[in-house]
Structure 1
Amino acid sequence: MVKFTVEERQRLVTLLASVPLLSTESGRAEMLALAGLGDLVPHIDLTGAPLVAVSRVVSHLSAYGRFSRDQEALGVFLNLVATLTGKEQQDFIAGLLLTHRMMVPVSPAPTVVSWKGVDSPGSVEEKIITSNTLRPVHFLERALDAARAVCHIEVRAGATGWTGTGFLVAEDLLMTNEHVLPREDLLADARFRFNYEDDPTGRPRPVETVRASGRVFLSDQELDFALVELTGRPGERWGRLPLADAPPPVGERVNIIQHPAGQPKQIAMQSNFVQYVDDNVVQYVTATLPGSSGSPVLTDEWRVCAVHHAGGNLREPATGSRYFRNEGFRVSRILDRLPADLRSRLS
């Protein structure tokens, strides 16, 4: 537990209250998450005036103690805050970190001596530009884990055919769009290809092709989803995707792992903001192409919040206005349509 003198605490709380990013409840939560302390957010009252709220944060983190072998939770937080302050504040925070053995402080930022924008150098404090795109490195590992459960679908119907994307939600159950698999009789000639992707050298990886078992097929045109059972329990080898209770709010990001235009597996995780959410659909600007239909729309926790099904000049249900967006039906609505025995088998 970190124990400050009265003077140290007063000066620290005043400093924190003056940081613009800590002036709002959402900003305080974002800073804690960015410091890797997101799990503590539900346990701290972040509401109220900045001076009161940051005082609670200091008290909670001080009492929490060690975050890791060499780091106090409060030290991790202050080390991040220091990057948003001027040299005098950085020196003060560095002194606290060293005096109270909280952690080694970050190296001080160089002074901005010339600035070609409309503001003077002294007013430039924040380093998060427009939105926070920083993620821990394991974010990429989790993306690769999630990608294993996504497959390329090839459907044949006589002389015609088409491709789409699907993903495992159980060891033997795959979800996609109804317009990718609209009828049960198409299953006999449908192919589900896992690991259809390139390695880092651009060479194709070995593909596993799986067939439908014919035992379970459920489709819904209104919500544009299909659920099909596959042979050989491929989820035991390729994993399955967990389902989210709710989609991210407007302004947050969603990532889509897909087979655009029938190509080897790709991922869209830039310029990927949610634009609209209601009880049925999520609309977003994450990139897709024909062939991406049936792809999982994933939160930053790599949980499926929707099944991608359409894009273009779409109508926003609440306003009737049209926007160029992509859209997926919410998983929660899809789950409501499933029989209890199937729902119990899902992630």
Structure 2
Amino acid sequence: MVELTVDERQRIVTLLASLSVLTTESGRAEMLNLAGLDELVPHIDVTGPPLVAASRIVTHLSAYGRISRDQEALGRFLNLVATLVGREQQDFIAALLLKHHMMVPVSPARPVTAWRGADSAGSVEEKIITSNTLRPVHFLEQALTAARAVCHIHVRQGATGWTGTGFLVAEDLLLTNEHVLPSADLLAGTRFLFNYEDDPQGRPRPVETAYASGGYFLADRSLDFALVELADRPGERWGRLALAASPPLVGERVNIIQHPGGQPKQIALQSNFVEYVDDTVIQYVTATLPGSSGSPVLTDDWRVCAVHHAGGNLKEPATGSRYFRNEGYRTCRILDRLPSDLRSRLN
């Protein structure tokens, strides 16, 4: 149970009531579902004016308590809300999550200022209708194998912290975003959690925690990647992801295995079309959330073509139109920044 102060509760309710997505009953239910709280939706009255509905949601989630060992129901919901608000409100939510031990806030992604791609979002909808979505059954087996190498990253810095996603590219090397792990000074307080996921009955699987070895570390801000050496070679147990030799084409699909909103491992397989490719970035409409930063962007043969780092509903400079897209830096560009001995280990 989360015991908020009167001021904290008032500020949260006012913030929720101001969000356009929470002005309708369907939007409120969808936000709860997106936060992984779908089992609670039938028990929460989401009808009425925004302030009334927001108050009911906060009351119910506060009283419900923990939904997992280290996550409160209210924390899961607020972590999602943080993706829809400005930096000042994000900081307020992050402080609240840490103060009341609700969960670790996700790592805020840096904004992307230039988006490129198709002229119309309608073309994506048409592709969803007409595209061939048939796959062999072993496609799912390959997805589960690839998912083993993806981990939840929990960074702790003094009284603050954040989460992200990473993946093994060698038995002892892990790739993530620079904005998740910007400095080697953070490694002592960072945990890499493998198998942080639920089983078919919705029960948490046993988690293996890995740590940095104190060896190799490289962070590159311009391509937003960090490569860190882990102790005890976790890739011998969890596998590694291979890198794609060539990028997907516009209109092809990319899948992302991730820890959205700091939640147990999830995968985005639907509505996952590539919208733009150049020598440095790939842009796509595959679903992500903050906390997904550092996830592998995977082709349909389960090879990593990019490292996811940012997204948003922003203007396309060439047309002034707005598109909701995500973006990853291509692995070929990341490889170019690595010493030759390391490049050979990742191929």
How far is the alpha carbon of 1:246 from its aligned partner? Answer: 1.9
Residues 204 and 304 of structure 1: is their aligned pair in 2 closer, same or farther, counting only changes over 3 Å? Answer: same
Residues 129 and 180 of structure 1: is their aligned pair in 2 closer, same or farther, counting only changes over 3 Å? Answer: closer
Residues 329 and 319 of structure 1: is their aligned pair in 2 closer, same or farther, counting only changes over 3 Å? Answer: farther
1:51-200 superposed matches below 5 A? 130-200=130-200
Partners of 2:222 and 2:317 in 1: how far apart?
A: 15
How far is the alpha carbon of 1:313 from its aligned partner? Answer: 2.7
Residues 131 and 246 of structure 1: is their aligned pair in 2 closer, same or farther, counting only changes over 3 Å? Answer: same
Q: In the alignment, which residue of structure 1 is the partner of 2:219?
A: 219
Say whether 1:205 aligns with 2:202: no
Higher alpha-carbon Rg: 1
Alignment deviations for residues 174-232 of structure 1 (CA, whole Å, 9 cap, x no partner): 00000000000000010000000000000000000000001100010000000000000
Say whether 1:275 aligns with 2:275: yes
Residues 238 and 318 of structure 1: is their aligned pair in 2 closer, same or farther, counting only changes over 3 Å? Answer: farther
How far is the alpha carbon of 1:342 from its aligned partner? Answer: 1.2
Residues 317 and 305 of structure 1: is their aligned pair in 2 closer, same or farther, counting only changes over 3 Å? Answer: farther
TM-score under structure 2 length normalisation: 0.61
Alignment deviations for residues 57-115 of structure 1 (CA, whole Å, 9 cap, x no partner): xxxxxxxxxxxxxxxxxxxxxxxxxxxxxxxxxxxxxxxxxxxxxxxxxxxxxxxxxxx
Partners of 2:171 and 2:316 in 1: how far apart?
A: 35
Asked if 2 retains the 8 angstrom alpha-carbon contact of 1:276 and 1:316, the reply is: no
Residues 200 and 298 of structure 1: is their aligned pair in 2 closer, same or farther, counting only changes over 3 Å? Answer: same
Partners of 1:257 and 1:237 in 2: how far apart?
A: 18
How far is the alpha carbon of 1:245 from its aligned partner? Answer: 1.5
Asked if 2 retains the 8 angstrom alpha-carbon contact of 1:314 and 1:326, the reply is: no
Partner letter of residue 175 of structure 1?
L
Q: In the alignment, which residue of structure 2 is the partner of 1:43?
A: none
Partners of 1:296 and 1:267 in 2: how far apart?
A: 11
Identity of aligned residues (%): 84
Moved >3 Å (runs of 4+):
314-322
Alignment deviations for residues 312-341 of structure 1 (CA, whole Å, 9 cap, x no partner): 034658878652100000000000000111
Asked if 2 retains the 8 angstrom alpha-carbon contact of 1:281 and 1:327, the reply is: yes
Say whether 1:309 aligns with 2:306: no
Partner letter of residue 231 of structure 2?
T
Gaps of 5+ in 2: 1-127
Partner letter of residue 230 of structure 2?
L
| Equivalent pairs, count | 220
**Which of 1 and 2 has higher RCO (CA within 8 Å, sep 6+)?**
2
Alignment deviations for residues 242-297 of structure 1 (CA, whole Å, 9 cap, x no partner): 00022210000000000001000000000000011111100000000010000000
Alignment deviations for residues 120-169 of structure 1 (CA, whole Å, 9 cap, x no partner): xxxxxxxx960100000000000000000000000011111000000000
Residues 246 and 320 of structure 1: is their aligned pair in 2 closer, same or farther, counting only changes over 3 Å? Answer: farther
Q: In the alignment, which residue of structure 1 is the partner of 2:342?
A: 342
TM-score under structure 1 length normalisation: 0.61
Gaps of 5+ in 1: 1-127
Superposition RMSD in Å: 1.6
Residues 315 and 229 of structure 1: is their aligned pair in 2 closer, same or farther, counting only changes over 3 Å? Answer: farther
